[in-house]
C-alpha cells in the first residue's frame, strides 16, 4: 500500500515515513507562502497570479531572496526591506503551520498516495481560518476550489488501490454540502451579508470531502468529525456572536473554525484507527 513497496533495497518503514514527512514539510512551507497570497488577495478580489509578491505598505515587489518561507521574515526582522514597515507575523505563522501540518499528515499516513489530497484539505483549512481570523468574509471559492482539488487528487489512490467506495463517499458528501450551501445562498439573496454567510458555510464542503473519504474505512472518524463540527459551531457561535444577531447566524459565522476543528477530530480518530489510506 505504499509508494515504496516492492522496490529493490526498499527503505525501512520508519525511514520511509520520516523521509515522506520531511519532503511534505518542505513542500508545505512553499504552499504556505502561496496561501499567504490567497489570504491577502482573494478577499480583496485581486489576482493570485499577477503581480508578484509585494509589500502591502509601499507596494515594492518582494525580491526572491526575501520571499523564502519563514527564513526571510526572520532575517528581515519582520520588516519590509524598502520602507521598513512591519510585516505581519501571520506570514511566517501561516507558512510554518502549513509546513508542520503537511509533515504531520505525512508522518501519520506514511508514503501513501492519499498524502497529497489530505495535505490539500489541510492547506484549505489553513487558508479559510486565516481569512476568518483577519475578520474578512471567507470567499466561497477558497473552500470549494480546495475541496475540488483534493477530490481530484483522491482519484489517484482510488484508481491504484481500488478504494472506490471512499472516493464515491467523498464525492457524494462534498456534493451534498455544496448543493445545500448553494440553496442556502439562493434563499439568502445576493446581498453582502448573504454572500459572507455563504462563504462561511462553504467551509463545510472540504469537511464533507474528508469525512466522506474516511467514512467507509472509519465510520467512527466521520461521526466524530461531524459531531465535533456541530459542537464547535455552537460553542464558538455563542462566544463570537455579536449582540442582536440570531443564534443561527452566530453558528454560521463560526463555521470556518468549527469545520476545521471537525476535520482535525475526524483525521485524528482515523489516524488512531489506522484508516487514513481509505478503505
Do 127 and 150 have their domain in common? yes
Q: Quote the CA–CA distance of 118 and 156 in Å, as a whole number.
A: 13
Write down the pTM of the prediction: 0.88
Q: How does pLDDT run across 141-186, given as a tens digit for each residue?
A: 999 999 999 999 999 999 999 999 999 999 999 999 998 888 876 7
In terms of domains, do 84 and 24 share one?
yes
- Of the two residues 211 and 6, the one the predictor is more confident about is 211
* 181/246 same-domain check: yes
- pLDDT for the residue numbered 30: 96
Of 112, 127, 150, which closes a domain?
A: 112
**Is 133 in the same domain as 248?**
yes
Statement to judge: residues 138 and 207 lie in one domain: yes
How many domains does the structure of the chain reveal? 2
Do 152 and 273 belong together in one domain?
yes
Same domain, 159 and 269: yes
Q: Are residues 89 and 60 in the same domain?
A: yes
CA atoms within 13 A on the CB side of 254: 25
At residue 193, the pLDDT reads 52
**Burial category of 49 from C-beta neighbours within 10 Å (exposed 0-12, middle 13-18, buried 19 and up):** exposed
Domain around 252: 113-279
Residue 114 has pLDDT above 90, yes or no: yes
Q: Within 13 Å of residue 222, how many CA atoms lie on the same side as its CB?
A: 19
pLDDT per residue over 51-91, tens digit each? Answer: 888 888 888 888 888 889 999 999 989 888 888 889 889 99
133 and 177 inside one domain: yes
Quick one: which of 259, 203, 31 has its CA closest to 123?
31
DSSP alpha helices (H): ranges in 42-163? 71-75, 90-109, 115-133, 141-161
H or E element in which residue 183 lies: helix 164-188
Amino acid at each position: 500500500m505504499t509508494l515504496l513497496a516492492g522496490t529493490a533495497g526498499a527503505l525501512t518503514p520508519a525511514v520511509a515515513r520520516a523521509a515522506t514527512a520531511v519532503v511534505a514539510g518542505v513542500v508545505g512551507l512553499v504552499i504556505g507562502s502561496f496561501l499567504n497570497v490567497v489570504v491577502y488577495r482573494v478577499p480583496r478580489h485581486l489576482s493570485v497570479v499577477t503581480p508578484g509578491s509585494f509589500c502591502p505598505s509601499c507596494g515594492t515587489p518582494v525580491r526572491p531572496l526575501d520571499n523564502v518561507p519563514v527564513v526571510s521574515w526572520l532575517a528581515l526582522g519582520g520588516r519590509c526591506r524598502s520602507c521598513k514597515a512591519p510585516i505581519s507575523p501571520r506570514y511566517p505563522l501561516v507558512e510554518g503551520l502549513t509546513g508542520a501540518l503537511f509533515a504531520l499528515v505525512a508522518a501519520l499516513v506514511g508514503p501513501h498516495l492519499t498524502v497529497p489530497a489530505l495535505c490539500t484539505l489541510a492547506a484549505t483549512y489553513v487558508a479559510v481560518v486565516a481569512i476568518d481570523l483577519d475578520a474578512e468574509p471567507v470567499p466561497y471559492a477558497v473552500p470549494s476550489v480546495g475541496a475540488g482539488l483534493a477530490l481530484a487528487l483522491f482519484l489517484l489512490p482510488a484508481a491504484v488501490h481500488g478504494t472506490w467506495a471512499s472516493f464515491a463517499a467523498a464525492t457524494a458528501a462534498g456534493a451534498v454540502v455544496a448543493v445545500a450551501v448553494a440553496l442556502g445562498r439562493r434563499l439568502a439573496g445576493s446581498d453582502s451579508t448573504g454572500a459572507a454567510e455563504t462563504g462561511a458555510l462553504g467551509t463545510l464542503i472540504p469537511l464533507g470531502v474528508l469525512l466522506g473519504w474516511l467514512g467507509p474505512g472509519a465510520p467512527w472518524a466521520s461521526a466524530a468529525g461531524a459531531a465535533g463540527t456541530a459542537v464547535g459551531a455552537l460553542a464558538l457561535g455563542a462566544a463570537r456572536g455579536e449582540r442582536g444577531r440570531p443564534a443561527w447566524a452566530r453558528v454560521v459565522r463560526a463555521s470556518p473554525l468549527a469545520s476545521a476543528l471537525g476535520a482535525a477530530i475526524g483525521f485524528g480518530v482515523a489516524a488512531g484507527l489506522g484508516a487514513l489510506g481509505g478503505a
